[in-house]
A = this chain, B = another copy of it.
Amino acid sequence: MTDLLYFEDFQPGQVFELGSLTVSRDEIIDFAAEFDPQPFHLDEEAGTASILGGLAASGWHTGSMVMRLLAENLLTRTSGRGSPGITKLQWKRPVHPGDCLTARVEILDTRDLRSKPDLGLVNIRVTAKNQKGIEVLVWENPNLFARREVAR
């Protein structure tokens, strides 16, 4: 937590590696039971019978797991102030029990905000691959960061 990254520190083309996590069967079922109780997220047989090819994590679970990697390994070391939304998101492949997700973020562009001169907007692309190197998730969204000269 020593040298926070501010808006001015982000440049298009920068890449930050976000580390990895492994998801368990219980985590997939627990999340689905609470937030996305569709059969293929809750039950092995229903998952196998579905186009997901086996018990598969809710897309909201996958997004939330990757958000954890983004928050822990980048945003909490920055002057991040949240995000107004998601520009687009693709669930490219299902995530199954035991899958290990490795994520990275690329800085797409940065923009001043007339309405909030103490903040700037940074558009990012977040991607997550599984242990086979296959992309499972891609999202792009704008993120707000405080400017260094204002925050200090």
Binding site for B on A (CB under 8 A): 31, 34-40, 50-52, 58-61, 63-65, 67-68, 71-72, 75-76, 80-92, 116, 119, 139, 144
Contact = CB atoms under 8 A, between A and B. Distances in A.
A66 to B, nearest CB: 9
7 contacts: A35-B68, A35-B71, A50-B81, A51-B82, A59-B85, A63-B63, A83-B91
Contacts of A89: 85-86, 89
B88 A86 contact: yes
Contacts of A85: 59, 88-91
Contacts of A144: 51
A85 B63 CA distance: 11
